Structure 1
Amino acid sequence: MRAALDAVYREHARRVFSTLVRLLGSFELAEEALHDAFLAAAEQWPAHGVPAHPVAWLVSAGRYRTIDRLRRERRFMAWDDTLADPAPGPDALAEARDEIPDDRLRLVFTCCHPSLSEDARIALTLREVCGLGTEAIAAAFVLPTPTLAQRIVRAKAKIAAARIPYEVPGPAELPARLTSVLRVVYLVFNEGHAARDAGLADEAIRLARLLLVLMAPEPPAETRGLLALLLLSDARRAARLDADGALVPLDRQDRRLWNRALIAEGCTLAEAALRQRGFGAYALQAAIAAVHAEAADADATDWAQIVGLYDALWRVEPTPVVALNRAVAVAMRDGPEAGLALLRPLLPQLPAYPAAPAAAAELCRRAGLLDEARRHYRDAVALARQAPERDFLAARLAALCG
């Protein structure tokens, strides 16, 4: 039973939390209710079994235990007088089942309210919607953990003070809020991808699909583009690690393991996004991923088309990371020396980004500049966050030093 309870927690805890935020109107009360709900499950499920609808059961248990506690403490709130008797009946469970699917989307839009700074929106969503630890989010932001924690606390306080509603905004407000929400979903996927957390990556895809439905009948290009990008990236999941858990670079992956259904869906979405007005960085990144996905093997990759797409991406998003990726594509089209000429000036702009020295090391190795390659590999190993990447880079370094 402990294993079953742990599985329900991993899969559904943040969904339960999102609904409890809506029902209780407070992040803090929802966190306490979530704890109470799983405590109740630990007490009752071993005797009665896992309920048919565990999410609805947990929502009801957390909600009504919180109401009981508030009443006992005589901390009445305005909504308290309207609540039913704190014994969840079939109607309450049915309501919870019906309303839970969109609750996390509601919470995303709440956390991405324009009254918050962009960094606060993203940090709060990663913490409250996806359940990432404060330390992991701080690492993503390259910030001290206490600084990031204070940012989250201030964001919560601002939501409470401003009485920001827990809802998906109406048509008039939706476009302005969408950019931040898309970025949050993108970062959630990247965190899951980097940490090999399939559940987190799946949740980002689920949120992207919900956004696409929400924008119907004519979703904006970037909504389609983001989902396309996530699907095309996720399609390679099974090929990224070998049987021993070692990282397999893109050019050496067994493409028979790629998920062709996801690739077909992603390519269709990417093409649709590029046909719309207003497409941007996500649609262009999806188009680049589609070129890789459609190549029969690494040698068949159309690098000239990829360079052209990076040229377009640079005009939309002129960042050092885009320039780095374009430099690698130029190297694949024109040779390592051409890529290094573009890449070397970018290294000081990306001092904490492990992909930068890793790319420089690989191009130097291909160009026969072995001393410089070894130096860059050492830098990349020191910066790598995940063990598979670190082990892969260390192995490349060892091969050059052997």
Structure 2
Amino acid sequence: MTDSGSTLARSVAERVARESYGRLVAYLGGRLGDLASAEDALAAAFLAALEKWPVDGVPDNPDAWLLTIARRRRLDDWRKDKVRARSADHLALITEELSAAAERAEEIADRRLALMFACAHPDIDVSVRTPLILQTVLGLTASDIAARFLVSPKAMGQRLVRAKARIKDEKIPFVVPEKEELSNRLPPVLATIYAAYTNGWMDIDGAETLGQEAIWLARVVVSLLPQEPEPKGLLALMLYAEARRSSRRASDGAFVPLDSQDVGLWDHEQLRLAEGLLREASANGPTGRYQIEAAIQSAHVARRLSGIANWQAVVSLYDVLGRIAPSPVVTLNRSVALMRIGQADAALGDIYALAGDPRMADYLPYWTARARICADLENHVEAAEAFTVAIGLCWSEAERRHLEEQRSKVLC
């Protein structure tokens, strides 16, 4: 294979591995009843794929290929541990099932939703439910997850190990529970679906697949719990964002912020679906975080489509969100809206207050908002400094160029 062919095959292999991880760990882990073993076996399969596919080519059914390698790895481990002698019947049954799945031409059954609800089981500590789903379904590392939850990677790693051992020891089944149990397990499941979507959304240089799968998972949850308002709120929130995806780039690849996007490029069918879901959610029961966030997106869409400023309504919605689900991010976004209604001093006061939060030190939206508010106040030196930090944190080439253009304006 040529160097260019090898590079292409490796790129495809890496993409398939990313896209297949959640599906395969859910399928294999459900059969083994052991998440840690499933992850170890799949790690070996992914490594083999990255070594072999660039040379041999990507197989017609990548998931089946990965499952076959993972199955062989797990069987080898069983033999080394001499487990086979003690549970030959169980091992034979699992081997036959996994072999049959790998040989089928169709796509391997998607068990991610069942895995998510298993990780949200009452026997799993509340504090580790969402981190556990983030690792097992999205494949995030303990270090990545620790940064999100403001704990050390070591502590997070220990929590995750204990949670996986609990699933194995308590034989927690990988099934979607009965409807009367679903609501209690819902918050960490919704949080993980949204994390999956935002990961796909932030990667505007590619990776739309993760966002599409998050939307699919949300649709499944809505169908399981049609009377629950928050799944509809979450699905609406994601559809509002997804409807704008094609307008985020100019013809030359440059990043385009919301207020400069061509609304003619928006997917208006998705916007109508989002509006309908938000109305249904509002009629179904108590207002929750995702409904308010969806309402904020609805307000942004309405402003652009009508040309009528509605920033006061946005501030009011952030006030409600701050009471329901207070967070530094809510405060940050509210400060940007305050700036738009002429309350620059209040906006900057909130920005300065957030500076003491260690999470803001490497949070790109914080430095972007700080830079723009300072620029609006004609504090050009501080604006340029904030833009410089934001540029250093930005990994999207298109967005980085946009920030560099903004910085050059305040330096003129």
Report the TM-score, using the length of structure 1 for normalisation.
Answer: 0.82
Secondary structure of the equivalent of 2:341? helix
The 5 Å alignment of 1:372-391 reads: 372-384=382-394, 386-391=396-401
Verify: 1:360 aligned to 2:357, yes or no.
Answer: no
Task: Check the 8 A contact 1:252/1:298 in 2, yes or no.
Answer: no
In terms of mean alpha carbon deviation, does 327-336 or 262-271 score higher? 327-336
- Cα distance, 1:378–1:84 mapped onto 2, change above 3 Å: closer
Q: Structure 1 stretches of 5 or more lacking a match?
A: none
Structure 2 partner of 1:351: 360
Aligned AA (1:205): I
CA distance in 2, matches of 1:289, 1:85: 47
Cα shift at 1:274? 1.5
Secondary structure of the equivalent of 1:129? helix
Q: Structure 2 stretches of 5 or more lacking a match?
A: none
Work out which of the residue numbers 219, 227, 237 in structure 1 matches 2:235.
227
Task: Check the 8 A contact 1:109/1:181 in 2, yes or no.
Answer: yes
Work out which of the residue numbers 284, 300, 307 in structure 1 matches 2:308.
300
Cα shift at 1:105? 0.6
The 5 Å alignment of 1:271-350 reads: 271-297=279-305, 299-334=307-342, 336-337=344-345, 339-349=347-357
The 5 Å alignment of 1:2-401 reads: 3=9, 8-34=16-42, 50=59, 55=63, 59=67, 62-63=70-71, 66-67=74-75, 70=78, 74-76=82-84, 80-82=88-90, 83-84=92-93, 86=95, 100-101=109-110, 103-196=111-204, 197-215=207-225, 218-297=226-305, 299-334=307-342, 336-337=344-345, 339-349=347-357, 351-352=360-361, 353-384=363-394, 386-401=396-411
Aligned AA (2:386): H
CA distance in 2, matches of 1:47, 1:398: 48
Cα shift at 1:249? 1.6
Task: Check the 8 A contact 1:55/1:97 in 2, yes or no.
Answer: no
Cα shift at 1:393? 3.0
CA distance in 1, matches of 2:107, 2:185: 25
Aligned AA (2:166): K
CA displacement 1:130-152 (0-9 Å, x = unmatched):
12344433443455544443332
- Cα distance, 1:77–1:378 mapped onto 2, change above 3 Å: farther
- Cα distance, 1:43–1:392 mapped onto 2, change above 3 Å: closer
Task: Check the 8 A contact 1:235/1:258 in 2, yes or no.
Answer: yes
In terms of mean alpha carbon deviation, does 84-93 or 319-328 score higher? 84-93
CA distance in 2, matches of 1:320, 1:73: 49
Task: Check the 8 A contact 1:228/1:266 in 2, yes or no.
Answer: yes
Aligned AA (1:396): Q
CA displacement 1:365-385 (0-9 Å, x = unmatched):
223232343343344445556
Paired residue total:
398
- Cα distance, 1:295–1:132 mapped onto 2, change above 3 Å: same
Task: Check the 8 A contact 1:123/1:137 in 2, yes or no.
Answer: yes
Report the TM-score, using the length of structure 2 for normalisation.
Answer: 0.81
Task: Check the 8 A contact 1:336/1:364 in 2, yes or no.
Answer: no
Secondary structure of the equivalent of 1:9? helix
- Cα distance, 1:54–1:77 mapped onto 2, change above 3 Å: farther
Q: CA RMSD in A?
A: 3.7
CA displacement 1:308-330 (0-9 Å, x = unmatched):
32222222123332222222223
**Identity percentage of aligned residues:** 33
In terms of mean alpha carbon deviation, does 178-187 or 117-126 score higher? 117-126
Cα shift at 1:172? 3.4
CA distance in 2, matches of 1:108, 1:95: 25
Secondary structure of the equivalent of 1:158? helix
Task: Check the 8 A contact 1:68/1:86 in 2, yes or no.
Answer: no
Secondary structure of the equivalent of 1:219? coil
Cα shift at 1:265? 1.4
Aligned AA (1:267): E
Cα shift at 1:104? 0.5
CA distance in 2, matches of 1:351, 1:61: 42
Secondary structure of the equivalent of 1:285? helix
- Cα distance, 1:183–1:380 mapped onto 2, change above 3 Å: same
Task: Check the 8 A contact 1:381/1:394 in 2, yes or no.
Answer: yes
Task: Check the 8 A contact 2:35/2:168 in 1, yes or no.
Answer: no
CA distance in 2, matches of 1:37, 1:347: 44
